[in-house]
Amino acid sequence: MTRLAHERTLCAFDFDGTLSPIVEYPGQAVMGGQTRILLGRLAALYPCVIVSGRSRPDVLARLRGVKVARVVGNHGAETEATTAKPDSRVAQWKASLEYELGAFPGLWVEDKGLSLAVHYRQSPQKTEARRRILAATRNLRHVRVVGGKQVVNLTVDRAPDKGEALAAERDRLLCNWVLYVGDDENDEDAFALHGNIVPVRIGRKRHSHARYYLHTQAEIDKLLELLVLLRGH
C-alpha cells in the first residue's frame, strides 16, 4: 500500500458490492456517507475511475458530485465517447428472453442499453431460475454471458470487458500501477490484467485472479482511508 501511494497509481473500483452494499433491488443501491467523503478525498489525490456493470448515467447519478477521472459503464463497454444509441442486438435478446422465461416467479430483465442483467434474487426457486436463464441464453447470438450474485449478465461478445477498459484507463492516465477493487465474476477480467496491478476482491474466493481480499464490503472505508493517509505522508 505504501508503494502504491508513492507511484503513479490508478485507483479503480466496481460500484455494487464494492463502493455500495448489495441490495435487494438495484435501484436501492447507495454509497454510504463516509464512503462518499473518502472517495472524494481519494479522487483528489490519485487518478480514480469507476468501472461498473451499471449504465454510465446510472453510476454518475449515484456518485452525486464526487469527481472521478472517468466512469465506465456496462461492464467496460460504455464511456462518454460511446454512442448513446442502444445496441439493437440487446433489444432482440430481451424480447427473446422474456418470451422464453415467461412469468417465472421472481425473475426480471434489466435493460441497460448496451447490456442486459437477468435478476433472480427475488425468485423462490433460485437454482431453477439460473438454470432456465442460462438455457435461454444459448439461443442468442453475439452474446457474452457472465454470471454474478443472483444475476446473469449479457454483453455483446466483442464489446470491451472490464479488463480492457481498465487497461485503456491506465494508459490514458499514464499510470504505472493499478489498484482494482471488485466483488463479482465480471471483475475477474480486471483482476487478471497484466502488468503492475494489485487486485482486491470483496470476500475471499478460492478460484479468483484477485491475490488480495477484504472480508466484507464494509471494510472499503478502511481501504480508502489508508490510501488517503499514505499519500499524505
The model's pLDDT over 166-176, given as tens digits with 9 standing for 90+, comes to 999 999 999 99
The model's pLDDT over 70-118, given as tens digits with 9 standing for 90+, comes to 999 999 999 988 766 778 899 999 999 999 998 899 999 999 999 999 9
Residue 71 sits in which domain range?
A: 2-77+160-231
Name the range with the highest mean pLDDT among 23-27, 32-36, 62-66. 32-36
DSSP string, 33-88: HHHHHHHHHHHHHS-EEEE-SS-HHHHHHHHTT---SEEEBGGGTB-TTS-SSPPH
Check residue 28 and give its pLDDT: 93
Q: What is the CATH classification number for the domain harbouring 222?
A: 3.40.50.1000
The model's pLDDT over 117-132, given as tens digits with 9 standing for 90+, comes to 999 999 999 999 999 9
* pTM (two decimals): 0.94
Specify whether 71 is located in the same domain as 12: yes
Which of the residues are catalytic? 14
With respect to residue 82, please indicate whether it lies within any of the assigned structural domains. no
Give, rounded to a whole angstrom, the gap between the first and last alpha carbons of the chain.
12
Q: In the chain, how many domains are there?
A: 2
